Amino acid sequence: MVFPLVGDLHRPRPERCAAPARIGRRIHCPRGVRLEDLHRQPQATLEKVRAWLGIEWHDALLHSTFDGQPWHYRTTGRQTVKGFQQTTITRKHTGVFTPFDRIRLKLLFADQFQAWDYPLPGVLTWRPLAYLGAILWLLPLRMESSIWRVQSWRGLRTLGGILSSYSVVRLKTFARWWPDLRRRPPLIRLLD
């Protein structure tokens, strides 16, 4: 998972990346860090963020806080998670994604997987499979099916209304994905 740090999330503007003003460079050339890197190597990853932002190092960067208060959350299994740890990044989320969902997502976002240094079998980068991924995207993911089971459909009332709502989400996602299929640069590059 890549988190954007600062920037215009529509498209990077390479002509402005070399801008001498640091804030202009940061806004027009967004960068991200991988959650796995942040948890496995917090100091090294945060040092890159600090250098990119042009701020001084402070040990407070290594503490999970929100508005000065210790930050933590309780998982659905009633486990409290806080700070840098391996629990978050080792979970497989099998209740959210099926193996078929994972393959479809890798087909759709193969360019980003490669740009963010995630392992990806070479066959999944084959161009015709990207088009297959677009077709398979029409099928709902497990998380969508789960939401539908608990969703109140009173406002939609008809199967046509439900399908219309579903197609809007699919069309918006496809509109974001289509430019990447044509081999444009990744939306957010990893912080060097």
Segment 70-114, tens digit of pLDDT: 777 666 666 677 778 777 777 777 888 999 999 988 888 887 888
Q: What is the pTM of this model?
A: 0.66
Q: Which residues of the chain have pLDDT under 70?
A: 1-28, 73-79, 151-157, 180-187
- Can you give the pLDDT at residue 5? 47
Handedness of CA 102, 103, 109, 113 (dihedral sign): positive
Q: How would you label 95-126 residue by residue, b for 16+ Cβ within 10 Å and e otherwise?
A: eebeeebebbbbbbbbbbbebbeeebeeebee
Please work out, in degrees rounded to the nearest 5, the angle formed at the alpha carbon of residue 189 by the alpha carbons of 114 and 101: 45
- Can you give the pLDDT at residue 6? 43
Rounded Cα–Cα distance for residues 192 and 190 (Å): 6
- Domain parsing of the chain, residue ranges: 2-90, 99-190
Residue count of the chain, please give it.
Answer: 192
- Can you give the pLDDT at residue 182? 63
- Can you give the pLDDT at residue 46? 93
- Can you give the pLDDT at residue 7? 42
